[in-house]
Structure 1
């Protein structure tokens, strides 16, 4: 638990940390752009059946040359329920009688129709070429678009599994991870590098092996035991935490990708939607950092996830004609999904001890990729009921919000370093609540008065920045003596 004190000496938020965020931003943007590219490469343009008298350039029949393209379209393609040319059917024979403007033909039988046996003609004004036009993934083949997106996401899943191992050869490990994993020399070297970049000139006197061993003795002793992924499931508390975390991540990612790769569902101007949704996603990422300090980790996640589910379910029953309302609800849904993802990441870090956090993050990435794989596959259910995928997208985050309530609250709690910390977490949490609730008691006041000037300053500073509990943990012997 004493690593936070070392981090305070080298700078817990300085140039080094800012530089890390700046460097990771381009990589993240490239990944997101590649995913969102699906909205354009897999866009479905306007289309209709190919008909001989309208689309065959070699046709030279005199009766058709004097007719306009609109007239030829009218006698060749039936109208759908919205009085627009049908996208998936054509007349078997030209219906010349439809050229009569004043004719009602109420007693006539409906002309025979057939599917697009000779292919389709696509509107190329917005999208000259997509996988839809290349492979004719429309009408009865439209569900195969979701299969293509499913295969794309599956490739990301496989690539993540392979690339995750390859990245360990060149990624810089955090100092805390190095120390907890029995590499104190490398951890000290990393801390000195952080202190140098952050301009902490006096940190070198503290960052010694003796100081490290004295401040993190318990953690270094626990590091002698080799940990594996199986250790995440070795105790009931850890097993419950990781299983709930994996479900919540999975259930959060499914609606997020359900919205982001199906922008065309909300309207035709997907270029504008992409800009709006991208801007909202970037802006709301910082919102949970402000809300969680007041509402707590669990409440914040639950509220955001419920809002995601409700916005999607509400959008399901909004008519297609009300495009502004549909876009507004979709924007709210994607914003709350991004916010819930940020709050979840913070909660995960605080629930899993440092010795297992890297492995937990690996499983978290796996659950995230599985959610991304399932999201487009659910769209194939539109063949049975058009709103069924969106109902599932809305139900998932609501279920995840309820599951979050089964996790312990970690606000104002110290980060866990070892499995032993998790075992003692309930008792420690109870003691912390007792200490916080009795700050105004005489006993606590006497203890505060006995502290030196520097200790009092640390007391106030760590309370302000949510680090006082770490100080109490290192000073627990003094508390017991009083």
Structure 2
């Protein structure tokens, strides 16, 4: 482990390291922008069907045209994916009526037909001037294309992790960093100029590949040119660059509301980064491990000159290098692949645990951060909040890593994030502020986990195979990011299941992190033999009691949560059975997630019911609609028979399923 001594001789924390780290952190600012760009370029603006072509020359105001063309949902907003087959002119004469347009039509006994948006859509572009959704009409039947674009991008990140991870261990960090910067610049420019969704996806895939190459090689060049004692601080600075990048994205997106200009704004700087990358020196540590000692000595002397230690640098020669790193150079013969991560027992256990950590961190992180519109808050504001929470989170994780250690920090951050997400399941849906606060807290914990695992993984893997290892775990993270949107689909069948999965995965991986070795204050391993000769993974018996205690606690918390959820489900089922016996439950209403029931309040089972006579006459017809999802139509069901008198136990009861 003598490379650290050579680094101290030429200056380990001098001007070279300061400038080196600063320049390498600059692209990280915009890596965050590309990672989260989907929130803005694919934002879904409010939209509704265009009017019939024969109304285009009419003298009606836009509001009147909308009224007679598009039916309203249950809260009085235009439906997104349906319009009347023919204009409903009679609605213009119903001033002051209440209820939705569709309800009024039903009560008038009119035969109202609905159709899709055959003439396209109109978009309310108040928050932005253009998105890929409005440009290519990715709504209604094509609404899943939004998630497809993000999945394709993450697929590029996944492929890039595999490709660049192996190539950089073989050809060096610097050359792959140059290629990655150029690929990001060109692909990002082509994304902004794309004239179809297909081309958009192709070039976003290229951006994803470039992002992996940038992340892997930037971090390796940083870590391999700094000493052990400052790795935590420098790693945290790199993490803060990503945090600042999230805030920059919110500001740039606020002023550039057109998705093409926004994409160009976060892509063109990579041409500059490409030029800057020519100045970087290849990692001398990697050069030594790759049997290129002459180039390693040349780079060490350049660093010594830059740091004002010319005389110390001139003392380094081939003989000194061979004497100090005989073991490492002898072990560096041959090439290594991803398979070498699993050949030896300690490396295998370490890789499995790190795979779980990276997968679950990315899985839960993107499950929270990639759909800002679901919070019902201005997307620019929520982006700032989600970015700002990383600042205190990373301060805490930095202190924790420096004084408590890497292993407990990694494990604790994941477990806390999982518990926060699970608690959110128990908060009523209408309490949006509380739910948003918990989501922000969970996102902060996951950001801290990301900050930790980048540094931790780089310290665990030996130099000779570090890029292969980082490429593998980065690939697992991208798999998690690709799977995250798919889990949301399960919410259509079991509403609380996505949250349970998003919360359970970090907890399980937090337990797995306990079995990793501690690296606080330890020098970087250079060979696989260094890892195998070190202490057993997880420190054996010291980790077992902690695992048992944490496992027991998590089991109790899980049982309690499941008991609460089960209790709610049983109570809901009992109410539904009673209502089916005493009232009328509309089947169409059930399919759309609501239950509107005429019935009697037996022994206070339904305390939220309202007496029929206390409702306006227009609402005594049981008008219903499902959630305001695209593609769903409204239904109007009118109770057969007179409205019952307002007695103590007869009422109309509304309850979300």
Same fold flag (TM > 0.5) = yes
- Residue 134 of structure 1 corresponds to 135
Change (3 A) 1:385 1:370: same
Q: Distance in 2 between matches of 1:48 and 1:317?
A: 34
Match of 2:73 in 1: 80
Q: 1:212 to 1:103 in 2, by over 3 A?
A: closer
Task: Tell me whether 419-428 or 252-261 shows the greater mean CA deviation.
Answer: 419-428
User: Residue 96 of structure 1 is aligned with which of 90, 94, 105?
Assistant: 90
| 1:32 lines up with 2:32 in the alignment | yes
Cα deviations by residue, 1:273-313 (Å, 9 ceiling, x for unpaired):
22333344366445423211222222111121123223334
Q: From 403, 409, 420, give the equivalent of 1:294.
A: 403
Alpha-carbon deviation of 1:108? Answer: 6.3
Q: How does 1:25-424 map to 2 (within 5 A)?
A: 25-52=25-52, 56-59=55-58, 65=60, 69-70=62-63, 73-92=66-85, 94=88, 96=90, 99=94, 101=96, 112=112, 114-118=114-118, 119-159=120-160, 165=167, 168=172, 170=175, 172-204=281-313, 206-224=315-333, 226-281=335-390, 284-285=393-394, 287-315=396-424, 318=427, 322-385=431-494, 388-424=497-533
Find the aligned partners of 1:265 and 1:296 in 2 and give their Cα distance.
Answer: 36
How much does 1:267 deviate?
A: 2.5
Shift of 1:262: 1.3
Answer yes or no: is the 8 Å Cα contact 2:70–2:83 preserved in 1: yes
Give the Cα–Cα distance (whole angstroms) in 1 for the partners of residues 295 and 353 of structure 2. 34
Deviation of 1:341 after TM superposition, in Å, equals 0.9
Structure 1: where are the runs of 5+ without partners? 434-482
- Superposition RMSD on alpha carbons, in Å? 3.4
Q: How far apart in 2 are the matches of 1:128 and 1:148?
A: 20
State whether residues 300 and 313 of structure 2, in contact with CA within 8 Å, keep that contact through their aligned partners in structure 1: no
SS class of match (1:426): coil
Q: Summarize the Cα distance change of 1:289–1:241 in structure 2 as closer, same or farther, 3 Å threshold.
A: same
Q: 1:121, CA displacement in angstroms? A: 2.0
Q: Verify: 1:8 aligned to 2:117, yes or no.
A: no
Q: In the alignment, which residue of structure 2 is the partner of 1:455? A: none
Checking the alignment, whether the CA contact within 8 Å between 1:95 and 1:111 is kept in structure 2 is: no
2:452 and 2:27 mapped to 1: Cα distance?
Answer: 21
Alignment partner, residue 451 of structure 1: none
Q: CA deviation at 1:176?
A: 1.7
Q: CA deviation at 1:75?
A: 4.9
Q: Distance in 1 between the 2:538 and 2:311 partners?
A: 34
Distance (Å, rounded) in 2 between the aligned partners of 1:17 and 1:23: 10
1:163–1:351: structure 2 CA closer, same or farther, 3 Å change rule? closer
| Cα deviation digits, residues 436-472 of structure 1 (max 9, x gap) | xxxxxxxxxxxxxxxxxxxxxxxxxxxxxxxxxxxxx
Q: 1:158 to 1:346 in 2, by over 3 A?
A: closer
Partner of 1:22: 22
Q: CA deviation at 1:407?
A: 1.7
Query: Runs ≥4 in structure 1, deviation > 6 angstroms?
Result: 103-111, 427-430
C-alpha deviations, 1:39-92, integer Å up to 9, x for none?
A: 111001112233439x932236xxxx4xx6545544544443434333334445
* CA distance in structure 1 between the aligned counterparts of 2:67 and 2:538, rounded to whole angstroms: 74
Is the CA contact 1:413–1:429 (under 8 Å) kept in the aligned structure 2? no
> Taking structure 1 as reference, are residues 226 and 149 closer, same or farther at Cα in structure 2, changes over 3 Å only?
closer
* Cα separation, 2, equivalents of 1:26 and 1:288: 22
Deviation by residue 1:389-437 (Cα, 9 ceiling, x = unmatched): 444333322222122122222233332222222222127998xx9xxxx
Structure 2 Cα separation of the partners of residues 163 and 217 of structure 1: 29
Aligned equivalent of 1:441: none
Please give the alpha-carbon distance, in whole angstroms, between the structure 2 residues aligned to 1:112 and 1:339: 55
Aligned residues: 424
3-state DSSP of counterpart to 1:129:
coil
| Aligned twin of 2:231 | none
Cα distance change of structure 1 residues 141 and 376 upon mapping to structure 2, 3 Å threshold: same
Aligned equivalents of 1:111, 1:390: Cα separation in 2: 43
The structure-2 alpha-carbon separation of the partners of 1:99 and 1:76, relative to structure 1 and needing over 3 Å to count, comes to: farther
8 Å Cα contact 2:410/2:453 also seen in 1: yes
Instruction: Answer with 145-154 or 284-293: which moved more.
Output: 284-293
Please tell me whether the aligned partners of residues 301 and 310 of structure 2 are also in contact (alpha carbons under 8 angstroms): no
8 Å contact kept, 2:397–2:409: yes
Q: Distance in 2 between matches of 1:223 and 1:175?
A: 14
Deviations 1:364-396 (A, max 9, x none): 332233333333444444554555444433332
| Superposed displacement of residue 100, structure 1 | 5.1
Report the more deviating stretch, 293-302 or 365-374: 365-374
Is the CA contact 2:52–2:69 (under 8 Å) kept in the aligned structure 1? no
